[in-house]
Amino acid sequence: MSFSEIRYSQVWEDEAILRGALNIMPNDVVLSITSGGCNALALLLMKPRRLICLDISPAQNALLSLKMAAIQHCSYQAYLAIMGVTAGERHEIYSELRPNLSLEARQFFDSHKADIDAGLIHIGRLERFMAGFRQDPLVSAITPYLRTLTGIKSLDAQRTVVSQITDENFKKVFKKYFSQENISRLGRDPAQFAFVVSTDVGEHFWQCFLRAMNETQFSTNFYMQYFLLGGYENLDYGPLLLRRESFDQLKRLCHRVELVTDSLENFSEDKRMLGITKVNLSNVFEYKSAASSQDLFFELSQRLPDNARMAFWNMLVDRAPQGIDSLVNLPPKANWRDRFCLYQSFKCYEVRR
């Protein structure tokens, strides 16, 4: 799988669930998979002592490097512009930020000028794939009806509109677009499906979509708003890293972040793991065999101190520690329900010896 492109320009794992489960305290040292950087910065807002952002992909770390440079050195208006939330002179903003970037980040974005043009939240392979779905003629035709959902406050009234939209024609288009074959071709890498067995991928995402549309309030669900509308109706309910009050806090906190480009396996086996107390593993086990996952769970159980927590998501591949007594599965809480339509489960474990 190539790591030369940005695969995720946003993070689609629910930041609210993660923040609640990890329960970060001022003395915590947090390890987070970088991905699009959204959840890493959402955790940074909880003010840990230090945040290590780890990704095997230099492109993902370059993206977070640029996002943090924009937070540290831009006005809020310029930040929203380069992120792609509002219009603006993005290349001028990038030119001003460029001296503040690492050499690796400069080299990446100097050779990806079109990404600057598009705005940072829109440039991931997965986000471009979502945009393709919105351009389908049937989806485009119902977009005005979808937009009305942003003004509906009653879940019952929302369900009525959703039931009118999600007819057999829409279901057919949805399942075909989000089939394993089409996602492998346009949205993700075929290697990311290596351990998916006996799963109707289109049906899985369809059921997740129906749950999100019927059980979460669309007017405040920024994940579903971006997925279906390509943007956010109200940033007061948007991703934490885009909110005005968060911007000022992040300016004061970004110095606590360290970016590391390496594999989780390499990182977990050396002294860099010392002192880490909270871990966000994204959905890394999706792409690992059962044996490799178990080895990594065991390594983490040995390296992390008592009362440390680690959290991760399962999408199409069910992974969990097996027979490791020191990893205690925390019972899911009622609010541990993803607002987006990708994942089958969220898990959080605490180290207890």
In a domain, 4, yes or no: no
- H helical segments located in the chain: 15-22, 38-44, 58-73, 76-83, 90-97, 103-110, 113-118, 125-134, 137-148, 155-165, 168-177, 180-182, 201-215, 222-229, 244-253, 264-268, 290-303
Which domain range does residue 57 map to?
Answer: 15-125+240-351
Give the residue-averaged pLDDT of 80-103: 97
| pLDDT tens digit sequence for 182-209 | 999 998 888 888 899 877 999 999 999 9
| pLDDT tens digit sequence for 216-232 | 999 999 999 999 999 99
Structure confidence at residue 310 as a pLDDT band (50, 70, 90): very high
In a domain, 3, yes or no: no
Q: What is the chain's mean pLDDT, rounded?
A: 96
Q: Give the β-pairing of 309-314 and 257-261.
A: unpaired
**Selection from 276, 282, 342 nearest residue 27 by Cα:** 276
Note whether 76 and 136 are same-domain residues.
no
Domain's final residue, options 237, 255, 270: 237
Q: For residue 88, what are the β-bridge partners?
A: none
Note whether 183 and 330 are same-domain residues.
no
Q: Give the pLDDT confidence score for residue 297 in this predicted structure.
A: 97
Note whether 159 and 308 are same-domain residues.
no
| pLDDT tens digit sequence for 42-78 | 999 999 999 999 999 999 999 999 999 999 999 999 9
Q: What total of structural domains would you count in the chain?
A: 2
The rounded distance, in Å, linking the Cα atoms of 33 and 55 is 6
In a domain, 9, yes or no: no
| pLDDT tens digit sequence for 272-284 | 899 999 999 999 9
Domain's final residue, options 220, 237, 254: 237
Note whether 113 and 210 are same-domain residues.
no
| pLDDT tens digit sequence for 130-157 | 999 999 999 999 999 999 999 999 999 9
Note whether 177 and 228 are same-domain residues.
yes
As given in the structure block, the two tokens for residue 46 are 């909880």
Domain's final residue, options 185, 217, 237: 237
Q: Give the pLDDT confidence score for residue 190 in this predicted structure.
A: 83
Give the residue-averaged pLDDT of 87-93: 97
Using DSSP's 3-state secondary structure scheme, residue 35 falls into coil
| pLDDT tens digit sequence for 108-119 | 999 999 999 999
Name residue 300's amino acid. L
Note whether 58 and 190 are same-domain residues.
no
